[in-house]
Amino acid sequence: MAFLIEFIQRHAERTEEAMLLDLESAQAENDPLLFEVLKYSLLKGGKRLRPVLAILSSRLCGRDDENLYLLAATFEYLHAGSLIHDDVIDHAENRRGKESVVKKYGTAAAILAGDWLHARCMHLVGTLAGQKGLDIVCHATQSMVDGEFLQLRYAADPAVSEEQYLSVVLRKTARLISATCEIGALYGNAEPTQQKALARYGEKIGIAFQIVDDLLDYLGDEQVTGKIVGNDFIEGKMTLPLIHALAHASGSEKAELIKAVESTVRDGAGCARARQLMHTADSFAFSRQRACQETEKGVAALSCFDNRQHRESLTVLEQLAGYILRRDR
């Protein structure tokens, strides 16, 4: 684990340096307030999971140069822009333990900064990874939007199935992480089988990442996660632990859970009771096991790579899969 943390920190720092240089190069053409908002949303925060995955994927396929870190930064741009827009939609006041962009700078500035980040991402991916890379990232971005619409459609619906939940997760989270790995492989001049393998790895750990995120919403420490425990339940989001409990709870407990989900006033007390019912139905254990299964499938997809030739990158990718399961924020 120490090796993984050191690797992430080292490459996250290089990615942040590339981001800062890129932002400074664009500063002359943009309003100073935009530059301030961008630095506030991007620097010294976040896990940098997506940039590290792009770097690892390219290195695994044989390419590591300075432009790789700028390419990696584009995925942080896209992710950060999406989070800013999410906070506008959700009227969120906090993000990563500090004021959200929309709270600090207002709705207009938040929307515009998110738009700029999305546009900058597309420009840089097209420049560095060509039309194929642009096609991949555009497809992933369209899927993110579609996933948000699906999530709205399924909100507070106790009839939502595990399959429908996974269709949201695939679009909302997994395809962007998959695209990150696939574009990194493309930049690294990967063979088609290698590119496909890394795309599958990214998809599977992306699914696991979202499942763990959904678990942390019920089981996490607010001081660590920076998020209100039970917020998904209060907003009516149908995530895997809740869906599993609805399918496996006993008659009276299922009725109670359905009533809590369908209530127009979902509060902390209702969430606490729902959490008890999920514990009783072993829904948290089931969800964690499902996340484990997804990471195992992702790691298995990397079997086409030579372990002797690519030992460091493969080791980090395997450890990253484990980290996703153990993370607490």
Instruction: Delineate the domains of the chain, giving CATH numbers in brackets.
Output: 2-326 (1.10.600.10)
Q: What is the mean pLDDT of residues 144-150?
A: 96
**Position with higher pLDDT, 149 vs 47:** 149
Whether the per-residue pLDDT at 36 is higher than 80: the answer is yes
- DSSP secondary structure code for residue 229 in this structure: T
pLDDT digits (tens, 9 = 90+) for 58-68: 999 999 999 99
**Would you state the pLDDT for residue 28?**
82
Token readout for 148 is 């948000």
Q: Among residues 232, 173, 183, which one has the least CA distance to residue 204?
A: 173
Residue 201 CA to residue 49 CA, distance in Å, equals: 14
**Would you state the pLDDT for residue 3?**
82
Q: How confident is the model at residue 33 (pLDDT cuts 50, 70, 90)?
A: very high
**Would you state the pLDDT for residue 44?**
64
Residue 312 CA to residue 50 CA, distance in Å, equals: 18
pTM of this structure: 0.94
Task: Look up residue 174 and give its amino acid.
Answer: A
**Would you state the pLDDT for residue 29?**
83
Whether the per-residue pLDDT at 45 is higher than 70: the answer is no
For residue 237, what are the β-bridge partners?
A: none
Whether the per-residue pLDDT at 290 is higher than 70: the answer is yes
For residue 99, what are the β-bridge partners?
A: 94
Q: What mean pLDDT, rounded, does the chain reach?
A: 94
pLDDT digits (tens, 9 = 90+) for 169-223: 999 999 999 999 999 999 999 999 999 999 999 999 999 999 999 999 999 998 8
Whether the per-residue pLDDT at 46 is higher than 80: the answer is no
Q: What is the mean pLDDT of residues 222-232?
A: 84
The pLDDT > 90 percentage for the chain reads 82
